[in-house]
Chain A
């Protein structure tokens, strides 16, 4: 890509002499695709593996840090010697940690994360039940937050210090500083108890019909989205305000573009890099940290599974959930890196 950039910048007389333009272009294109992408994917894969191994190995090691006999510590004083012996066997506590870990990895690679000794349910099954719910909730939260933030930020830049700008700035600070569950309780009070428009709790899967599904997810998603929406709005508004002082915005005005065009087509994209970064980090965070809202609205998501497992010292489940969340982090961050490339052509030239 740097090749291409350079060849364009060279005065036409010189470069035209060097090679016929068609062949030059072909070569430049081939060069740009192959090594750049391969290298990018390999780097990401290495990153993913490293993070996964690190995180899941830590969970394995944690067992050894439990005081006394880990199996006894997990099961409590009331457990019988027989139960403890069974758990010792299940957790392979007599083996050294690396053997345990190797066993876990072998199983995980085949999709078998073991069986929860809390619920006797295969962990893979438990995760597959809850992951779609968590992903749906996360997507809803992100979409709601981004829509609210984009609208408020763009209008705030269009009319700085106007009514909408002031109100949305105040609202953003309020939303950022209010815990999810307070917002959730408030929303339940207004929309479920008072107005009776939406159910107060419970999750209806898509199998129960789209409307029922959407109704059940709307309040929890709204409760969780106000805080990120406030952060996004602050971030985007400030970045856009800086962009609006750029020369190319002045030039766009001078060439006669409309306000809507200037705000949305000219200013939004170059202002959205920090927003994309933050929204990406949030995506993975929202999957794991939705516990409070999941509990409040009785939604069977991954967050609750994780917290329940932690409370019950269900290491088999913890290890699997942690691995899933780590994968989500790495994948989302890789997606963000790709998104940068789409958003900013200058990154493309720097990549190779």
Chain B
């Protein structure tokens, strides 16, 4: 349980030379080193992604978990280099993909990789499909973009095939439908078909099921998993739902306020949570064994304002075990027992300090637990 703080922050998923498992030994497909993404706003530079380092190996699924505003979506977009026009964005660090640094790649070259090397599925399938264009054209224009040698007819045939492969019944007929004529689940399947049209090696799925009914969520996640296996794709699944990533990822990175605060192989993470934030996220999930109407353990407070730099741990204000040190010095990423597992905490879950504070926090009133108790009351 005890941490072994190494002097300098360890890149969370840097290639581990001594790891034995086969996916772990493969060279990473995507290696992000010290990525910072900042937006210039009237209130100053907002660092939505702050020194994030992470790697994705071929065919692996990485889950990125965090609340809204944690920087997880910005992370996915800034890895691809997708930025809305007119936004002033500052991006530093290294993003190595297939031997090239995407940060330094000219936009013209980067554009060539979109869709064909790295693709993305967005959250809301209604807004992410063009409302005035038949879905057939939305897919076939993508197919033709990546395989310009195809004729119009061939591209359409390939599009029908894509629709069939993502589980759309009567695909030839659906080609003529407009997005608003399809159900939410069908739309997201179309979104996935479009993302797969260029046969990418890496797929970002940015909250792909958040806008969908619970019953459809499973189907979509199953579809993504199946396509990933068939196409030997790597996938980054961005979500706020730990339940979604628990069974569908190889590794998980938990983000908070632009930082990775804990990362580990999925199994290890759930067996051995170190970071109080991850603990809090887990506690916030509803449990079947508890009686109905049990209050969920929501995390009190809000994520910090990223425009205002703060010393110390970014979770300190909301952490049940925060002490003076947490507010003054930011903890580095340190390795846990498992070399693939690292976290950012001075008093991790399991340490005597955490356990005593957590116990105190539930009973209210104690010196460090008092304000914490007050927050819980809210």
- Interface of A toward B, CB cutoff 8 Å: 4-5, 8-9, 11-12, 16, 21, 157-158, 160-161, 241, 244-258, 261, 265-266, 269-270, 343-346, 349
Q: With A244-B84, A257-B145, A345-B134 given, name 16 new contacts (CB 8 A).
A: A8-B177, A21-B170, A244-B85, A247-B128, A249-B84, A250-B77, A251-B191, A251-B194, A254-B80, A254-B115, A254-B120, A254-B195, A255-B142, A256-B114, A261-B145, A346-B180
Q: Which 5 A-B pairs have the closest CB atoms?
A: A256-B115, A12-B169, A247-B127, A254-B120, A247-B128
**B129 neighbours in A (Cβ, 8 Å):** 248, 251
Residue interface bits B101-139, CB-to-A below 8 A is 1, else 0: 000000000011011100110111001111111100000
Assuming A245-B84, A256-B112, A256-B198, is B180 touching A251 (CB within 8 A)?
no
Bound CA span A160–B88, Å:
11
Question: In the complex the two chains form, is A246's CB within 8 Å of B145's CB?
Answer: no
Assuming A9-B182, A247-B122, A248-B130, is B82 touching A253 (CB within 8 A)?
yes
Query: Chain B at the A interface: mostly helix, strand, loop or mixed?
Result: loop
Bound CA span A253–B198, Å:
13
- Interface of B toward A, CB cutoff 8 Å: 77, 80, 82, 84-86, 111-112, 114-116, 119-120, 122-124, 127-134, 141-142, 145-146, 169-170, 173-174, 177-178, 180-183, 186, 191, 194-195, 197-198
Assuming A12-B169, A244-B85, is B181 touching A256 (CB within 8 A)?
no
Q: List 19 A-B contacts (CB under 8 A).
A: A4-B181, A5-B180, A8-B181, A160-B85, A247-B123, A249-B84, A251-B191, A253-B82, A253-B114, A254-B120, A256-B111, A256-B116, A270-B130, A270-B131, A344-B132, A345-B132, A345-B134, A346-B180, A349-B181
User: Nearest CB to that of A346 among chain B residues?
Assistant: B180
Bound CA span A277–B130, Å:
21
Question: In the complex the two chains form, is B122's CB within 8 Å of A251's CB?
Answer: yes
**A248 neighbours in B (Cβ, 8 Å):** 127-131
**B178 neighbours in A (Cβ, 8 Å):** 345-346
Bound CA span A244–B127, Å:
12
Question: In the complex the two chains form, is A270's CB within 8 Å of B132's CB?
Answer: yes
Of the candidates B80, B128, B132, B180, the one whose C-beta lies within 8 Å of that of A349 is B180
Bound CA span A157–B86, Å:
9
* Closest CB in chain B relative to A240 CB, distance in Å: 10
Query: Chain A at the B interface: mostly helix, strand, loop or mixed?
Result: helix
**B116 neighbours in A (Cβ, 8 Å):** 256
* Closest CB in chain A relative to B105 CB, distance in Å: 14
Question: In the complex the two chains form, is A255's CB within 8 Å of B195's CB?
Answer: yes
Bound CA span A343–B86, Å:
27
* Closest CB in chain A relative to B16 CB, distance in Å: 31
**A254 neighbours in B (Cβ, 8 Å):** 80, 82, 114-115, 119-120, 122, 195
**B84 neighbours in A (Cβ, 8 Å):** 244-245, 249-250
Question: In the complex the two chains form, is A241's CB within 8 Å of B115's CB?
Answer: no
Q: Which of B86, B122, B130 has the most CB of A within 10 A?
A: B130
**A244 neighbours in B (Cβ, 8 Å):** 84-86
**A16 neighbours in B (Cβ, 8 Å):** 169
* Closest CB in chain A relative to B213 CB, distance in Å: 12
Q: Which of B122, B132, B169, B182 has the most CB of A within 10 A?
A: B132
Bound CA span A234–B88, Å:
23
Q: Which of B141, B178, B181, B197 has the most CB of A within 10 A?
A: B181
Bound CA span A343–B178, Å:
12
**B120 neighbours in A (Cβ, 8 Å):** 251, 254
Bound CA span A247–B206, Å:
12
* Closest CB in chain B relative to A233 CB, distance in Å: 17
Bound CA span A5–B183, Å:
10
**A266 neighbours in B (Cβ, 8 Å):** 130, 133
Bound CA span A219–B251, Å:
69
**A258 neighbours in B (Cβ, 8 Å):** 111, 145
User: Nearest CB to that of B186 among chain A residues?
Assistant: A9
User: Nearest CB to that of A160 among chain B residues?
Assistant: B86
Assuming A21-B170, A247-B124, A261-B141, is B119 touching A255 (CB within 8 A)?
yes
Question: In the complex the two chains form, is A255's CB within 8 Å of B128's CB?
Answer: no
Bound CA span A16–B173, Å:
13
Question: In the complex the two chains form, is A255's CB within 8 Å of B198's CB?
Answer: yes
**B186 neighbours in A (Cβ, 8 Å):** 9
**B111 neighbours in A (Cβ, 8 Å):** 256, 258
User: Nearest CB to that of A345 among chain B residues?
Assistant: B178
Bound CA span A269–B137, Å:
15
Bound CA span A346–B132, Å:
8
Assuming A247-B128, A248-B127, is B183 touching A11 (CB within 8 A)?
yes
Of the candidates A8, A250, A255, A346, the one whose C-beta lies within 8 Å of that of B131 is A346
* Closest CB in chain A relative to B181 CB, distance in Å: 4
User: Nearest CB to that of B117 among chain A residues?
Assistant: A256
Bound CA span A261–B116, Å:
17
* Closest CB in chain B relative to A351 CB, distance in Å: 14
Assuming A5-B180, A250-B122, A346-B180, is B170 touching A255 (CB within 8 A)?
no
* Closest CB in chain A relative to B189 CB, distance in Å: 12
**A247 neighbours in B (Cβ, 8 Å):** 122-124, 127-128
